[in-house]
Amino acid sequence: MSGWTDAHCHLQDEFMEEGGDAPAEVRATLERAYDAGVDRVVVIGTGAKSSEDALALTGTHSPVEIYATVGLHPHAASEDLAPIAALARQRHTRLVGIGECGLDYFYEHSPRDEQRRSFASQIGLAVELDLALVVHARDAFEDLFAIFESEGVPPRTVIHCFTGTPEDAEECLARGCDVSISGIVTFKNAEALRDAARLIPLDRLHVETDSPFLTPAPHRGKKNEPSFVSVVGTFVAELRGEDPVALREATSANTARLFQFSTH
């Protein structure tokens, strides 16, 4: 039996020391995750420094396996992608994906045309290097699908922290994407997301924390961390009328397939 996998977290953004090894707080966080039944975490890059730190964290001595992605978040889409591409092409042994990248029309911290350009480039990088693609999509599904039509969808693509409607979920699934559910599913006003979570096939479903953000109920007000992926997963299992152990096994297997852990 496998433990939980946190398919998406940002440990480096909150805890990583400048140019150094993971501090004691990261190790303690990972030990708490292990005690909560978590076997693996994927630390997600959002820019050049963030991606470097994510890769550095994979060398942390920990009871939890640590993998990483490199990418340029849509909030930073105006920045140069070249450092991210250079990192990716180094083929770090624990590098498993490109992203998070995509479109965010809720905050629009970068112009939409630059978001679309950066996203298309990172799709190409994922295809070139045969890596998974981790997609951020907020209030932008129409353009997301248009870019998928023009650029293609890498064979291993996940829509992380899904916040769309059931119809958006069906469109993502129809394009071959997996869907990852975060602690938002536990929020009081997330009924549409709960409806979407119910319809995702078990073999296409992932669970994540997106920590240190989006702490699930009943832990709202605390800093989120990978140990809470068990809270998210158990909530999703009960929502779907499934055994939490079966959902844990399935989602962990799905994330291992998506990121090809066995080859790293």
- Out of 3.10.105.10, 3.20.20.140, 3.90.1200.10, 3.30.70.600, the CATH code matching 4-263 is 3.20.20.140
- Evaluate if residue 248 carries a pLDDT over 70: yes
For residue 221, give every residue at least 6 positions away whose Cβ sits within 8 Å of its Cβ, in sequence order, or none: 215
The predicted model gives 141-154 an average pLDDT of: 98
> What are the strands, taking DSSP E only, across 17-89?
38-43, 65-70
Q: Would you say residue 122 has pLDDT above 60?
A: yes
pLDDT score for 103: 98
**Residues facing residue 206 across a β-bridge:** 180
What backbone torsions phi and psi does residue 48 show, to the nearest 5 degrees? -65, -55
Residues 138-150 have a mean pLDDT of 98
Distances (CA, A) of 194 to 75, 142, 168, 242, 250: 26, 21, 13, 14, 19
Q: How confident is the model at residue 20 (pLDDT cuts 50, 70, 90)?
A: very low
pLDDT at 23: 73
CA distances from 89 to 5, 16, 83, 151, 152 (A): 26, 23, 10, 20, 21
Contact call for residues 224 and 212 (beta carbons, < 8 A): yes
Average pLDDT over residues 27-56: 96
Averaged pLDDT score across all residues of the chain: 95
Helix (H) or strand (E) holding 116: helix 112-129
**24 falls in which pLDDT band (50, 70, 90)?**
confident
CB contact at 8 A, 58 and 89 = no
Mean pLDDT, residues 186-203 taken together? 98
pLDDT band of residue 90 (cuts 50, 70, 90) is very high
> Where are the chain's structural domains?
4-263
Q: Is the pTM of this model over 0.75?
A: yes
